[in-house]
Structure formats: structure tokens, C-alpha cells
Amino acid sequence: MSRCGTPGAEAPRLATITNDSGEHDVCVTAESRARMTGMRTTTLGAGGPEVGRIGLGCMGMSWAYDEGGRDDATSVEVIRRAIDLGVTLIDTADVYGPYSNEQLVGRALAGRRDEVVLATKVGLLADGSRAVHRNGRPEYIKGAIDGSLARLGVDHVDLYQLHRIDPAVPLEESWGAMAELVEAGKVRAIGLSEVSVEDIRRAQAIHPVASVQSELSLWTRDALAEVVPYCEEQGIAFLPFSPLGRGFLTGSITSPDQLPEGDFRRHLPRFQKEAFDANRAIVDAVRRVAERVGATPAQVALAWVIAQGDYVVPIRGTKRLRYLEENAAAGDLELPPDALAELDALPAPVGDRYGTALPGVRGR
């Protein structure tokens, strides 16, 4: 039997291909998985691993959204189906749960580790009251990676991201500790989240920045002013979280009252009734474009995000198979110029991103 992958690690999947010389078993990797499905691909920045144009964010499977509706068995099924569809960038964090989301992802990836580009994060801590705090101390970061590897059931992660800069710790110290993890072989590449161009430059002076993860959608476009262009220029992947405006841009949420009790969106300014009603004009415009191009509003909103750069890979979160399939199809949707222009001209939303909610998360 053919063997592939890392010696001593769980054997990855094999696929049989046929060519002029007969049948051959080949290792299924993240790169080959995306190509096998036909999904458009890009690389995780210049020279990075190949990934599908849509990634999967796993936070909502365990944390922040409808926690009462948590279903780990279905979430495992969603993650594994995502890989089948060519959604090969899988994103989690130790703070999600906390910790339980990494455990969930680890279970889902059993036997399929080599088929994905696995990303997790460090630097945020959540207590029992859901208050979130930052910790960028080098000694904390160096210890946290071992916990993440154990929960994920892997010997390395492909991308380790600083979830937020700790204002009490110089970025150079946090980034230097993460660079040491690359040297130790525990991490393949490192990235930042919710940062400015100046922050990126400070980090680059110490170690290459593989990715920047920040919010980007049709109702959160701040990063387009400076950060996304800089990332494109530097060959850095840009990974938008909440590319569907926390579900708002799908058009499926018609009232804030639909949100489950305990869902953190109930505390966000844009989901308060007056702002919510005003922002429905944005959804209406997205729906009109969707009808013209024969797609869903969610697919149009994701396709607009992808169009913002060659290395832009939105990490859309879902815990439902039907939405996963819909999201994955957006990876092959290319919007015509007139549709892009119409979406570019949409007004800014009413309401701030976070307001007073989640003080440890908002801001740089």
C-alpha cells in the first residue's frame, strides 16, 4: 500500500488517479483537495500553501452565537464536508469555547489533517462571564501553542495568529515569541489580526507576516483604505472574518428578535432595532444584484469580498450543511463589473461594529 505524509503521523487519505501509465495512489493534501473539487484556489499569500477561495471559520460552532443550539456531531460533519468541497483553510482559536472549539476541530480532522491548512490563534482569554482579555506575553504564547496542538491532535499548525495585540506588551516581544515557534517546528507561518499597516511593518522587521485577519464585508470596509492594499502589495494573505456581516447580509435575519437569547449580536449596535431597520437597505441592494446574476445574497456578498484581492480568502462561519454548500459555491462566482460597481457604491451602515460590547476584542 502506498504511504504518504509525515512518518509516525496518522496516515492521510489516498486517492486513485488514472493516466496513460495506469492507476496510481496519490496523497490527498490541502492543495490537491482544492484542485480535485474544482473550486477556484489561491495561495496563502505569495509563496504560501494553496487554499480554496473560501475558508471555514469554526467559532460559531462552539461560542458567541446560538450556544444553546450547539451540535458537535453536526459541526464535525460540516467541517469534513467542507474539506470535500475544497474549503481547505480551517480557522479556529483557543479562546473559542474557550478551548472546546479546537477540540472539536481536532476531532473533525482525524485522518484528514494533511488535506487542510490549519489555522488557530493566541492572545485572547475568556473568563466565565464571557469577558475577554488580552495576553501577548512571550511566555504565555510559548505555552499556549502546546495546549492548542494537544487539543487539535496535531504536531504543528500551518498558521498561528496573534488574535489581538496586547497594549501592555510590545508587539515586537509577542511577535518574536511567535517567530521562535516557527523555528521550533510547531508552527509553519504566523499572522496578525485587527492591525494597522504600521503594526504589520513592525512585525515584518522581525519575521515575515503570512496573513492578516480582520473584518471585511459590504458593511465593514475600513480595511480597504490601507490594510488590504498593503497586504496585496506585500504578498500577505488577507483573511476577512464576518464576510456576511455576522449573517445580516444573507437577508435571512429580518428582525433582531430572531436572534437566540445569549447570542452576542443582540448587544451589537448594528443589530439594535433602529439601526437594523436602516441597514436593511444594504441587504435589499445585495438581493437585487443576486437576482440579476442568478445567485443568493450570501454568494454575492462573498464574491464581492473575494474580488477585493488575489490573496483575499474570506473565512465564513457556519454550522449548517445547507449554508456550507451555498457558501462554497460562492468560490466560483465572479461578479460582472457593473455588479461590483453597484456594490462598491453602497452606503456605510448605521451603527458601530462593537459599541461597548466585547471590550477585549474591539479596537487594535
Q: Name the band, by pLDDT with cuts 50, 70 and 90, for residue 260.
A: confident
- Is residue 315 assigned to a domain? yes
- Is residue 240 assigned to a domain? yes
Residue 91 domain boundaries? 14-344
Q: Name the band, by pLDDT with cuts 50, 70 and 90, for residue 356.
A: low
- Is residue 248 assigned to a domain? yes
- Is residue 22 assigned to a domain? yes
Q: Quote the cell numbers at residue 87.
A: 474549503
Q: Name the band, by pLDDT with cuts 50, 70 and 90, for residue 364.
A: low
Catalytic residue among 96, 160, 311, 323: 96
The answer to whether 89 and 51 have CB atoms below 8 angstroms apart is yes
User: Which of 32-46, 47-61, 198-212 comes out lowest in average pLDDT?
Assistant: 32-46
Grid cell 506588551 is found at 169
Q: At residue 7, does pLDDT exceed 70?
A: no
The better pLDDT of the pair 126, 13 is held by 126
User: Which of 127-136, 167-176, 211-220, 284-293 comes out lowest in average pLDDT?
Assistant: 127-136
User: Which of 66-75, 81-90, 166-175, 303-312 comes out lowest in average pLDDT?
Assistant: 66-75
Task: Using a pLDDT cut of 90, give the percent of the chain over it.
Answer: 76
The answer to whether 238 and 311 have CB atoms below 8 angstroms apart is yes
Please tell me whether residue 282 adopts helix, strand or coil conformation.
helix
Q: What's the whole-model pTM score?
A: 0.88
Task: Using a pLDDT cut of 70, give the percent of the chain over it.
Answer: 85
User: Which of 16-25, 154-163, 200-209, 339-348 comes out lowest in average pLDDT?
Assistant: 16-25
Domain count, the chain: 1
Of 336, 312, 340, 316, the C-alpha closest to 326 is 316
Average pLDDT over every residue of 46-64 = 92
Q: What is the pLDDT of residues 214-248, one digit of tens each?
A: 999 999 999 999 999 999 999 999 999 999 998 89
Q: Name the band, by pLDDT with cuts 50, 70 and 90, for residue 358.
A: low
Strands 50-52 and 41-43: antiparallel
CATH number of the domain that residue 118 is part of:
3.20.20.100
- Is residue 337 assigned to a domain? yes
The answer to whether 58 and 140 have CB atoms below 8 angstroms apart is no
Spatial separation of the C-alpha atoms in residues 309 and 224, rounded to whole Å:
10
For residue 332, give the H/E element and its range: none
Over the Cα atoms of the chain, what is R_g?
Answer: 20
Spatial separation of the C-alpha atoms in residues 29 and 39, rounded to whole Å:
15
- Is residue 349 assigned to a domain? no
The pLDDT score that the predictor gives to residue 35 is 62
Average pLDDT over every residue of 81-96 = 97
Sequence-ordered list of residues with C-beta below 8 angstroms from that of 354, at least 6 positions apart, any chain: 268, 269, 361, 362
Examine residue 12 and say whether the peptide bond preceding it is cis (omega within 30 degrees of 0). Answer: no
The count of other CB atoms within 10 Å of the CB of residue 25 is 14
Q: What is the mean pLDDT of the chain?
A: 90
- Is residue 147 assigned to a domain? yes
Q: At residue 261, does pLDDT exceed 60?
A: yes
- Is residue 152 assigned to a domain? yes
Q: Quote the cell numbers at residue 241.
A: 472574518
Strands 157-162 and 187-193: parallel
230 among known catalytic residues: no
Q: What is the pLDDT of residues 130-172, one digit of tens each?
A: 678 999 999 999 999 999 999 999 999 999 999 999 999 999 9
